[in-house]
């Protein structure tokens, strides 16, 4: 009798364990189906609006007069790109790229008015809200900073045109480009001797200038050697090197480089990191140019401003 009871108890335990395992399997299966359902992407709409919209980003900014130190307001223009990556019924996703700063945004699209409201995250002092209207291939509207005290121009206007970014190794600076670096003047002491033989010293401000070599050497198309670049000015080397990054859509933080490449009609900033896009030859050329930039000298000249 005792043996029978033990057998019954053992059978009951096995049965309960089996039920427990079966129940767990059922729950797991249900969770699996739910996860699978949740992983289905929300349908995308209006893919025809995807792409890069680039153009002027302008706002009134306080400036200081170099002469008397007085303040005045001036409308400052920058170049900005808005990348629309995904649109659904409820959301819009993309990035803004300006001054080498790439910020994600999320917002909504109003189909009836063809307008976007796009918010950057808000954890950077430069973040704000874009309110822009779509008209054909153009986006126009405004941007307002979330923290109006943290930026020089808390309200800006946008006039953007949709452009298809393409990498082209043939892209070069426009031959009519201004080859002066206006952003890094340097003071020099000059001496002047008058007709009476009296010599006086004075301080003058000069700017770096590039040579026509920046129109001849292309580090995206030709393998550069030391003999090609050993006699170039430092600014020449910097421009030739950064032309590689500009062709890949790099958004420059340094105003000097932005000023040079924004003079072209092909430069479209789309990313703040394009290192993985460079070809092996471009990487080798950039490394060579960096070595020479370290020891190269600049040529300065005086220009009226």
Report residue 89 as tokens. 């019924």
Confidence (pLDDT) at 40: 55
Structural contact between residues 53 and 81, judged by C-beta atoms closer than 8 angstroms = yes
pLDDT digits (tens, 9 = 90+) for 232-242: 999 999 999 99
Structural contact between residues 171 and 249, judged by C-beta atoms closer than 8 angstroms = no
Distance CA 289, CA 274 (A): 17
DSSP H or E run through 96: strand 92-98
Does pTM surpass 0.75?
yes
pLDDT digits (tens, 9 = 90+) for 133-174: 999 999 999 999 999 988 889 999 999 999 999 999 999 999
Q: List b or e across 150-171, with b for residues whose CB sees 16 or more CB atoms inside 10 angstroms.
A: ebebbebebbbebbebeeebeb
**For 14, how many CA atoms within 13 A lie in the half-sphere containing its CB?**
6
Structural contact between residues 230 and 240, judged by C-beta atoms closer than 8 angstroms = no
Structural contact between residues 173 and 155, judged by C-beta atoms closer than 8 angstroms = no
Q: How many angstroms separate the Cα of 226 from the Cα of each of 10, 151, 219? A: 86, 44, 13
Q: List b or e across 216-236, with b for residues whose CB sees 16 or more CB atoms inside 10 angstroms.
A: ebbbbeeebeeebbeebbbbb
Report residue 191 as tokens. 């001496």
pLDDT digits (tens, 9 = 90+) for 251-270: 999 999 999 999 999 999 99
Place of tokens 């009609």: 265
State how beta strands 180-193 and 199-209 pair. Answer: antiparallel
Assign 14 to helix, strand or coil: helix
Helix, strand, coil tally for the chain in percent (to 5): 30, 35, 35
Residue boundaries of the structural domains of the chain: 47-163, 180-301
pLDDT digits (tens, 9 = 90+) for 82-132: 999 999 999 999 999 998 899 999 999 999 999 999 999 999 999 999 999
Confidence (pLDDT) at 31: 45
Confidence (pLDDT) at 304: 52
CATH topology of domain 47-163: Porin (2.40.160)
- Based on its alpha-carbon atoms, the radius of gyration of the chain, rounded to whole angstroms, reads 30
DSSP output for 191-253: EEE-TTS-EEEEEEEEEEE--GGGGT--TTTS---HHHHTT--HHHHHHHHHHHHHHTTB--S
The proportion of the chain whose per-residue pLDDT surpasses 90, expressed as a percent, equals: 66
pLDDT digits (tens, 9 = 90+) for 5-43: 544 445 444 444 444 444 443 444 444 444 444 445 789
Confidence (pLDDT) at 60: 86
The separation between CA 271 and the C-alpha centre of its own chain, rounded to angstroms, equals 4
Label residue 65 by pLDDT band (50, 70, 90): confident
């Amino acid at each position: 009798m005792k043996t029978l009871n033990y057998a019954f108890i053992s059978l009951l335990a096995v049965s309960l364990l089996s039920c427990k395992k079966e129940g767990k399997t059922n729950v797991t299966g249900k969770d699996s189906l739910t996860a699978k359902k949740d992983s289905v992407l929300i349908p995308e709409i209006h893919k025809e609006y995807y792409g890069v919209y680039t153009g002027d980003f302008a706002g009134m900014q306080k400036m200081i007069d170099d002469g008397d130190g007085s303040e005045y307001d001036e409308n400052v223009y920058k170049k900005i790109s808005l990348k629309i990556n995904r649109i659904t019924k409820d959301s819009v996703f993309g990035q803004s790229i300006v001054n080498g700063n790439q910020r994600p945004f999320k917002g909504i699209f109003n189909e009836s008015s063809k307008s976007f409201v796009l918010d950057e995250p808000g954890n950077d002092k430069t973040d704000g809200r874009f309110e822009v209207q779509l008209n054909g291939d153009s986006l126009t509207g405004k941007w307002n900073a979330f923290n109006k005290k943290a930026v020089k121009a808390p309200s800006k206007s946008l006039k953007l045109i949709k452009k298809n970014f393409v990498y082209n190794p043939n892209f070069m600076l426009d031959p009519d480009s201004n080859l002066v670096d206006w952003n890094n003047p340097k003071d020099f002491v000059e001496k002047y001797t008058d007709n009476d033989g009296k010599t006086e010293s004075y301080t003058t401000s000069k700017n770096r200038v590039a040579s026509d070599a920046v129109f001849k050497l292309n580090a995206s198309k030709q393998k550069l050697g030391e003999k090609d670049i050993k006699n170039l000015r430092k600014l020449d080397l910097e421009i030739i090197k950064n032309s590689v990054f500009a062709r890949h859509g790099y958004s420059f933080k340094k105003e000097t480089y932005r000023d040079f490449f924004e003079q072209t009609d092909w430069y479209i900033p789309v990313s703040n990191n394009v290192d993985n896009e460079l070809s092996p030859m471009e990487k080798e050329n950039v490394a060579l140019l960096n070595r020479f930039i370290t020891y190269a000298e600049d040529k300065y000249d005086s220009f009226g401003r």
